[in-house]
Amino acid sequence: MTFRFIHTADWQIGKVFRFVDNAAMGGLQLARLEAITRIGKLAAQEFEVRHVLVAGDVYDHASPSPHSRNQVIERMRAHPSVQWHLLPGNHDPHQPNGLWDQIRRRGLPDNIQVHTQSAVSIIEKDIAVLLSAPLQHRRTLNDPTAWMDDQATETGLIRIGLAHGAVHSFDANEEQRANPIDPARPQLAQLDYMALGDWHGELEVNERCWYSGTPETDSFQTRGRGTVLLVEIDGPGELPKVTVLSTGQYRWESLNERVESLADVDLLENKLRSLDGDLNRTLVDLMVSGALSLADLLHFEERIVEGAAAAIFHLRIDREQMFPEPTDDDLDSIDPGGIVRAAADRLRATVETGGSDAGLAREAIRRLYIEHKKLESGLR
């Protein structure tokens, strides 16, 4: 009989996104909660799966608010045909009288199990056992899965490992890596599958060892959309069949663009507006380099900063490598002969001289020009 389950991890409910405004952060936080509902529907309705394994970091920290803590439980309670197996990770480790003890004291629905001890438990009678390796601390230098090698189980059962940590190759400093996991653990412990959490992108470590990634992407480094894994194992010793399922609402993109002219600005605007998917569910980290005249910089401000940014859920712009190159025409348009023009000339001289103040002078000229043009436009 084929044993099927969903492998997920790194929900990190309560995560704070400090680079967005409060409204956008609320949307991102809600999406992480809604991912639980989507996983429940995938399990119960679409794939008729009885078990969901959550490989650590259910919460973003070990002291969520009671409301945030209970929202997670209620989302899982709403899918009573699914057994949810939760594992403490490095963000929410199990400690005496800590988060997980508090949750248990409040009472858990019958369809939720919290695995707070390194132990073997039967998850499907006569079919499969779970070897769980919860974290007791945020950081440890010992492999939390090492005990699995000597753990015997009844013959004929599928052996599944559940753990949270970093496989060896993820960290160049082998001696100091936190929560290290030997990628050979499935072979050493005769596991049919090892379900891992910690790495936020879906990743096959080897044919029996996978990271599911987070179900809702949470950084530009990960990019793409969130995922979970559907795992199917025909029997002990059989290779697992792993299917990646998309669950994320928001898409995270990173762009590195060079702009040197008005035409480049227009091309960039078109590129941003033409990104795949729903722009209202897209976050973009835009790094811009190049040099533009002040007139073209004003065009950039209008078309990108004020225009395209309004069409995208969130646009973060890094302009540290984007330099204003004022032309004579640019400066002539700033209050000819007046005090503002005199200030612009002094700033330009500072730029041409170079030195530590040149960067600040460039930015001051850019802002002076843009604000002057805005004022001039308002007076018309």
CATH number for the domain running over 3-246 = 3.60.21.10
Q: Where are the domains of the chain?
A: 3-246, 251-379
Instruction: Give the whole-angstrom CA distance, residue 232 versus residue 376.
Output: 67
Nearest to 88 by CA among 138, 126, 122: 138
380 residues of the chain, pLDDT tens digit each: 799 999 999 999 999 999 999 999 999 999 999 999 999 999 999 999 999 999 999 999 999 999 999 999 999 999 999 999 999 999 999 999 999 999 999 999 999 999 999 999 999 999 999 999 999 999 988 999 999 999 999 999 999 999 999 986 554 455 556 899 999 999 999 999 999 999 999 999 999 999 999 999 999 988 668 999 999 999 999 999 999 999 999 999 999 999 999 999 999 999 999 999 899 999 999 999 988 888 898 899 999 999 999 999 999 999 888 877 777 777 777 766 677 778 877 887 887 787 778 878 877 877 777 777 667 666 44
The residues with which 254 forms a beta bridge, in sequence order, are 285
Give the E-state strand segments of 150-281 in sequence order.
Answer: 158-164, 166-167, 180-181, 193-197, 203-206, 209-211, 227-233, 241-246, 251-258
* Side-chain-side CA neighbours of residue 28 (13 Å): 23
pTM value is 0.86
